[in-house]
Amino acid sequence: MNLSPTVVFDLDGTLVDTAPDLINALNFVLGREGLPAVPLKSARNMIGAGARKLLERGLEIDGRHAGLKDLDRLTNDFIDHYAAHIADESRPFEGLEDALDTLAERGCRFAVCTNKLEWLSRLLLDRLGLSSRFSAICGADTFGVSKPDPAILQQTVVLAGGRLASTIMVGDAGTDIGVARRANVPVVGVDFGYTDVPMADLKPDRLIGHMRDLPGAVESLLAPRRAS
């Protein structure tokens, strides 16, 4: 059995700064509905629970509420526009590729576990030239469950060929902390992502402010697992 450690990443706000393209897609839909645009800076923390929730939050800013049928239509419009512009401005966070190189040299494998749709996740990572780095890329539709349900993390690790006993989660929001805790997996929190609750308050096992610090954080969490 291959005992290589598995590092599982959230996508939006952890691997890639996707906020500009997500908010541009949101504002495209809001504009078509005659609603004002949402400023990027204030909208960053609205990201993380999927396209539908992002739209609901965008509508709430103007005091609007969409019925189920309208929300379905708006979500489809959002996804169509977003897919066409998915990597216009989205970029990996500074230091990511160097961190992945270092961890790969240390024998780690990588996977993505996100609440984004799988096909959109693959499209984004393809456009950024990152897909080949990951043994598995799993989204909210891959297994029919979303974070923080532990099943999505557990099945992502299995698909990547790893073991939960040698897995570390990396994320930027409460859903990432929650899924890791429920799956009994140590978690590294990044403080540069999208969350309305400060990452420090969510008490990850390690907290980093730059990807350069990821290899050291992962290694410190893997050491006691290797010894056990």
CATH of domain 19-84: 1.10.150.240
CATH architecture of the domain formed by 6-17+91-227? 3-Layer(aba) Sandwich (3.40)
Residue pLDDT, tens place only, 149-199: 999 999 999 999 999 999 999 999 999 999 999 999 999 999 999 988 999
Annotation marks residue 172 as catalytic: no
Question: Residue 63, class by beta-carbon neighbours within 10 Å (0-12 exposed, 13-18 middle, 19+ buried)?
Answer: exposed
Q: Among 105, 113, 130, which Cα is nearest to 167's?
A: 113
**Exactly one of 10, 12, 17, 176 is catalytic; which is it?**
10
Predicted TM-score (pTM) of this structure: 0.93
Contact 81, 73 (CB under 8 A): no
Residue 87 pLDDT > 60? yes
Alpha carbon distance 179, 140 (integer Å): 13
Residue 1 pLDDT > 70? no
**Domain layout of the chain by residue ranges:** 6-17+91-227, 19-84
